[in-house]
Each structure stands twice: as C-alpha cells, then as structure tokens.
Amino acid sequence: MKYGARNRIRATVKRVKKGDVMSLVKFEVTEPHEMASVLTTESVNDLKLKAGEPIELIIKAIHVLPVKD
C-alpha cells in the first residue's frame, strides 16, 4: 500500500473506544524515530536552536493514519 505520509512511526494499539459514527484509537509509540522540520531561518534564530539541546516537538497534523503491513 502506498501513501503520501513521509514520517512513519511504529506503534502499538493501546486502546479502542468505539462510538456509533467515530471511534477513538490510542497508540503507544514503540520505536523512536528521527523527525525533520523545515523552518524559516528567522524562526531558527528566534528559537536559538543548537545541535544536541533538548526540545519539545509539537506535531501539527489533521490525520494520524494507522497502516497495517
């Protein structure tokens, strides 16, 4: 199956809460991954980003696509 999402994170289904129309599925991430972000240089300078320092990543997406191999 091919899909357009480039960041792929391995996870385990933790919990499923089914509703009549929508269901909530919680995942536990089981494999760490490297992620990338494209930022303006102005943002990099404003955040004073440096290699090796800890940072929090906030993933802004409208979809998390579960895929079974």
Asked if pLDDT for residue 50 goes beyond 70, the answer is: yes
Least confident of 2-11, 14-23, 56-65: 2-11
CA 43 – CA 52 distance, rounded (Å):
18
Asked if pLDDT for residue 58 goes beyond 60, the answer is: yes
Q: Looking at residues 50-63, what average pLDDT do you find? A: 81
Number of compact structural domains in the chain: 1
Domain that holds residue 14: 1-69
pLDDT confidence band for 2 (50 / 70 / 90): low
CA 37 – CA 7 distance, rounded (Å):
11
